[in-house]
């Protein structure tokens, strides 16, 4: 699954989930490999890079699901297409988060 697909299908995932994704050329891209994980209480107490190494090798923490959903809802009200939504979320992660 790639980041575009993960974000496009995020409404079907639990809001408490976390997105992990790979960087391509040092950046997150819509085509970056990505996964959505629900972390246990034990995992939430650990550094996210350690959890990523075990459960999402080659990827790093991208964003919490509920934050991505909030951005999606705001963009949906502006009638943005999915591609624009994915680009905005990536921009947020790279520059604002």
pLDDT of 90 above 90: yes
**Cβ atoms < 10 Å from Cβ of 4:** 19
Let me know: does 89 contact 29? Beta carbons within 8 Å: no
All structural domains of the chain with their residue ranges: 3-96
Q: What is the pLDDT of residues 29-83, one digit of tens each?
A: 999 999 999 999 999 999 999 999 999 999 999 999 999 988 888 887 777 788 8
Summarize the confidence of residues 4-22 as an average pLDDT: 90
Confidence (pLDDT) at 91? 94
Confidence (pLDDT) at 97? 59
Confidence (pLDDT) at 29? 97
pLDDT of 19 above 80: yes
pTM: 0.90
């Amino acid at each position: 699954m790639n980041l575009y697909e993960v974000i496009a299908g995020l409404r079907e995932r639990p809001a408490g989930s976390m997105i992990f994704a790979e960087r391509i050329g040092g950046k997150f891209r819509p085509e970056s490999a990505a996964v959505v994980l629900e972390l246990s209480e034990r995992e939430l107490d650990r550094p996210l890079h350690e959890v990523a190494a075990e459960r999402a090798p080659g990827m790093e923490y991208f964003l919490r699901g509920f934050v991505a959903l909030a951005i999606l809802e705001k963009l949906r009200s502006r009638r943005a297409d999915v591609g624009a939504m994915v680009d905005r979320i990536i921009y947020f992660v790279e520059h604002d988060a």
